[in-house]
Copies of this chain bind each other. A is one copy, B any other.
Amino acid sequence: MKKFIQLAIAEAERGLRNGDGGPFGAVIVRAGKIVACVHNEVVKNSDPTAHAEIVAIRAAARKLKKFDLSDCEIYSTCEPCPMCLAAILWARIPRLFFGATRDDAAKIGFDDAKIYDFLAGKISKIPLAKKQVARRECLAPFAKWANLKSKIKY
């Protein structure tokens, strides 16, 4: 366990040296073997979703050729932000080890804590205007999905 979080830290340092993005690393392990060992690539890839955990989940899923990572565990140098935490849940990863906290991330300028507070209903103001449109039409593909015998659930 100590080995894997240390590898995640080494990735965070590598990303920092390369200017690839924020100082975060993540490792995904399956049956004691590393399947992904990566760092944040938001800047390198011009991809706002390329947090270390998302990059790790995508890499592991690609490598294992499956979207269900329920036989894996994830190590992250920081408590995952809500995007990454939800991604871990969607990937069905059952175990998370993390180092720094959302408040540690906030102290160096990242919005993790703010987004958590918004989702918890602790703050109501976010810079996003939401408007519901065309619900009825959007439900048409939902009804087809519900009736689809061949669907693959995830």
Contacts and interface: CB of A to CB of B under 8 A. Distances in A.
A22 B94 CA distance: 22
Contacts of A116: 119
A86 B83 contact: yes
A19 B146 CA distance: 13
A124 interface: no
A120 to B, nearest CB: 6
Count of chain copies: 2
Contacts of A128: 88-89, 93-96
Interface residues of A, number: 96
Contacts of A133: 1-2, 5, 75, 97-99
Which 6 residue pairs across A and B have the least CB separation, nearest first? A99-B138, A83-B86, A23-B141, A48-B91, A23-B145, A119-B119
Interface of A: 1-2, 5-6, 8-9, 12-13, 16, 19, 21-25, 42-43, 45-49, 51, 54, 57-58, 61-62, 64-69, 75, 77-79, 81-101, 104-105, 107-109, 111, 115-116, 118-121, 126-135, 137-142, 144-146, 148, 150-154
24 contacts: A9-B140, A13-B144, A16-B141, A23-B142, A23-B144, A43-B152, A43-B154, A46-B61, A46-B65, A47-B61, A49-B90, A82-B82, A83-B84, A86-B119, A90-B115, A94-B127, A94-B129, A96-B130, A97-B131, A98-B138, A99-B135, A99-B139, A104-B142, A119-B120
